[in-house]
Amino acid sequence: MSSDSFIELKNVSFAYGDRPILQDISLTIARGKLVAIMGGSGSGKTTLLRLISGQVLAQKGQVLVNGQDVGRMSSRDLYQHRRRMGMLFQFGALFTDLSVFDNVAFPIREHTRLPESLIRDLVLMKLNAVGLRGTEALMPAELSGGMARRIALARAIALDPQIMLYDEPFTGLDPISLGTIALLIKKLNDALGTSAVMVTHDVHKSLEIVDHVYFVAGGKIAAEGTPDEVRHSSSPWVQQFVQGEADGPVHFAYPATDSLAQAFGIKGETA
């Protein structure tokens, strides 16, 4: 697998200020594969994607994309890297002053010199793919949360990127759209050979489409494996996730230093 690795994190550590988020993480994503990253809220999944896109730089270790260290790229290399990358932001990040059409057309207009008629066809095709053709005249403020996210997805795939980073593509979608989007992501991977990293909380749906799963907890990779391995894993981490249990090795609560009772100022009780 490592011989064909396209994206590789080698012993990466990252901290915001002096709060460590990721510690000594290593993972590989083979060319053309779709990999899911799961983990509790605030465990650093988005941060991991930001490391790959070069928005934040690892303090230790290397983030290799096609053999090149993202942390050491010149601005020209970084431009090239981002040019073949698409990213779906967790909160969509649509351009609020542009219409839906112009949002999806944005990367095409910025990076190509295609005639307007061709851009129109491309945009309508992408909007059709996410099931939102007919919304092109709307402004982002007129969209629902789930619609905005699907438009953002259409924008991210507008230039058929070689690398796709999806930050929670399934959140806020109804079951039907969810199925369509999952299929779209899978199809993109199969048809275009895109290497993709998908952060998701939807264990069951993602297990159907991904090639490999990494579980992040406590700043480390807690578990990994193929969907089959995950389903039959005996690891308590994995079981808790797959079953969605509130208590287990993964704690629901952010590690606070005092108990809730103490925080409320109730005396005498010790947690």
Considering only 107, 172, 227, 236, the residue that binds another protein (CB under 8 A) is 107
Q: One symbol per residue from 62 to 101: x for binding another protein (CB under 8 A), - otherwise; what is it?
A: -----------------xx-xx-x-x-x-x-xxxxx----
What is the secondary structure of 176-195 as a DSSP string? HHHHHHHHHHHHHHHHH--E
User: Is 41 among the residues that bind ligand ATP (CB under 6 A)?
Assistant: yes
Sheet holding 5-16, edge to edge: 19-30, 5-16, 60-65, 68-69
How far apart are CB 192 and ligand ATP at their closest, in Å? 26
Q: Supply the minimum distance, in Å, between the C-beta of residue 228 and Mg ion.
A: 27
Residue 10 binding result from another protein, ligand ATP, Mg ion, none, given CB thresholds of 5 to 8 Å by partner type:
none
Instruction: Between 92 and 233, name the residue whose CB sits nearer to Mg ion.
Output: 92
Instruction: Tokens for 48, please give them.
Output: 């991991």
CA-to-CA distance for 253 and 105, rounded, in angstroms?
41
Told to check if 30 binds ligand ATP by CB under 6 A, we report no
Q: Compose the 29-68 pattern: x for residues touching another protein by CB under 8 A, - for all others.
A: ------------------------x-x-------------
Binding mask 86-105 for ligand ATP (x = CB under 6 A): ----x---------------
Could you say which of 4, 11, 16, 125 contacts ligand ATP (CB under 6 A)?
16
Task: Say whether residue 106 binds another protein (CB under 8 A).
Answer: yes
Q: Which two tokens stand for residue 204?
A: 């069951």
Q: To the nearest whole angstrom, how small is the minimum distance from the Cβ of residue 93 to another protein?
A: 4
**C-alpha to C-alpha distance for 24 and 10, rounded to whole angstroms:** 8
Dihedral sign from CA coordinates of 104, 128, 190, 242: positive
CB of 46 to ligand ATP, least distance (A): 3
Q: Closest residue to ligand ATP, Cβ-based?
A: 46
Check binding of 47 to Mg ion (CB under 5 A).
Answer: no
Q: Which residues bind another protein (CB under 8 A)?
A: 53, 55, 79-80, 82-83, 85, 87, 89, 91, 93-97, 106-107, 110-111, 116
Q: Which residues bind ligand ATP (CB under 6 A)?
A: 16, 21, 39, 41-47, 90
Q: Which residues bind Mg ion (CB under 5 A)?
A: 46, 90
